[in-house]
């Protein structure tokens, strides 16, 4: 059996020689249906993959598989599937999907290449295009994810409710403290105001006690005032106004000089004059009452 790789003209013996053509380009094995594998968590996953390979030794390839490309692809897929089944059985779904995906692919390429050498082919690459969960597993995963999210949501709600309760309790405590402090300050200010006012209250009480005996008589005398007495009082008030107006009317200069002197007096002098007038009026009232 001769192998010709270079282009050109060659001779063959009819009936004795048979020519077979083999494609030595890089070929692709693409699975039509995803394969099912079991992980270390006892969960099934569906894997869709492809393999890049080419014929490396035409003689060995022809002897091993009779030059049949389908048989070669079947054997390569069997090797890859067996290797993936062993690798997936030692790993979780997370490792298969993201954690150790590249590592698994490199291991599978090496193992497939070792077995492919026995049939005269070489494996360049093994790749997983897609890794899915079966429908029943997906629903279970979704239910578990939903339960997990609900659990997290309940934990967050519980934490929020506890925090809100703590904030409300702290606010109530602060309110009680502020109200107590305000009441204390109000009582202190009230006490500070009541202290100076107590002597005034005492003096008022004393004056009230002194005036209490004469109060009924004053009320009785007030009820006994006749219209004639009212006329007398009005006449006295009118005479006082007349007397007050005579001085500025007759001698305005003297009245002006008197007013000027009054404005020049000190507060003590004015108080003395007022006190003297008040005492004179009280004495006059006393004598009038005695009469």
* Most distant CA atoms of the chain, gap in Å: 181
Q: Is residue 122 a contact partner of residue 56, using CB atoms and an 8 Å limit?
A: yes
**Stretch 32-36: mean pLDDT, rounded?**
83
Residue 153: is its pLDDT beyond 90? yes
Domain annotation covers residue 3: no
- Tokens matching residue 167: 């904030």
Query: Is residue 277 situated within a structural domain?
Result: no
Asked if residue 37 is part of any domain, the answer here is yes
pLDDT value at residue 225: 47
**Model pLDDT for residues 218-262, shown as the tens digit of each residue:** 455 544 545 555 555 566 656 666 666 676 677 777 767 777 777
User: What is the rounded radius of gyration, in angstroms, for the C-alpha atoms of the chain?
Assistant: 62
DSSP 119: G
> Considering the entire predicted model, what is its pTM?
0.44
Is residue 129 in some structural domain?
A: yes
Mean pLDDT, to the nearest integer, of 89-108? 79
Least confidently predicted of 100-104, 155-159, 219-223, 273-277: 219-223
Residue 97 within any structural domain of the chain: yes
Q: Give residue 45's domain range.
A: 27-133
Cα 159 to Cα 147, 168, 207, 275, 289: the distances in Å are: 18, 14, 70, 81, 89
- Residue 152 in any domain: the answer is no
Question: If residue 143 lies in a helix (H) or strand (E), which one and from where to where?
Answer: helix 135-211
pLDDT band at 182 (very low <50, low <70, confident <90, very high): very high
Average confidence score pLDDT of the chain = 77
Structural domains of the chain, count: 1
Whether 157 is in a domain gets the answer no
Burial of residue 88 (CB within 10 Å: 0-12, 13-18, 19+) is buried
pLDDT higher at 111 or 96: 111
Q: Residue 38 maps to which CATH number?
A: 3.30.479.30
């Amino acid at each position: 059996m001769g192998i010709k790789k270079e282009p050109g003209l060659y001779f063959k013996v009819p009936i004795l020689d048979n020519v077979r053509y083999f494609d030595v380009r890089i070929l692709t094995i693409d699975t039509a249906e995803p394969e099912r594998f079991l992980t270390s968590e006892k969960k099934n996953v569906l894997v869709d993959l492809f393999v890049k390979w080419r014929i490396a030794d035409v003689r060995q390839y022809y002897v091993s598989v009779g030059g049949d490309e389908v048989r070669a692809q079947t054997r390569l897929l069997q090797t890859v599937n067996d290797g993936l089944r062993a690798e997936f059985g030692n790993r979780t779904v997370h490792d298969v999907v993201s954690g150790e995906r590249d590592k698994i692919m490199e291991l599978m390429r090496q193992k497939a290449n070792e077995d492919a050498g026995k049939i005269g082919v070489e494996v360049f690459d093994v790749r997983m295009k897609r890794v899915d969960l079966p429908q029943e597993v997906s629903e279970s995963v979704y239910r578990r994810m939903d339960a997990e999210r609900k659990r997290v949501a309940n934990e967050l709600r519980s934490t929020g409710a506890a925090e809100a309760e703590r904030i409300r309790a702290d606010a109530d405590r602060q309110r009680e403290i502020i109200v107590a402090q305000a009441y204390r300050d109000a009582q202190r200010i009230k006490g500070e105001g009541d202290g100076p006012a107590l002597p005034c209250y005492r003096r008022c009480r004393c004056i009230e006690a002194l005036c209490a005996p004469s109060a009924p008589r004053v009320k009785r005398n007030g009820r006994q005032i006749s219209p004639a007495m009212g006329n007398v009082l009005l006449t006295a008030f009118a005479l006082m106004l007349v007397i007050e107006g005579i001085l500025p009317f007759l001698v305005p200069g003297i009245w002006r000089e008197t007013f000027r002197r009054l404005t020049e007096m000190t507060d003590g002098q004015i108080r003395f004059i007022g006190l003297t007038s008040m005492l004179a009026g009280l004495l006059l009232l006393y004598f009038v009452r005695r009469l």
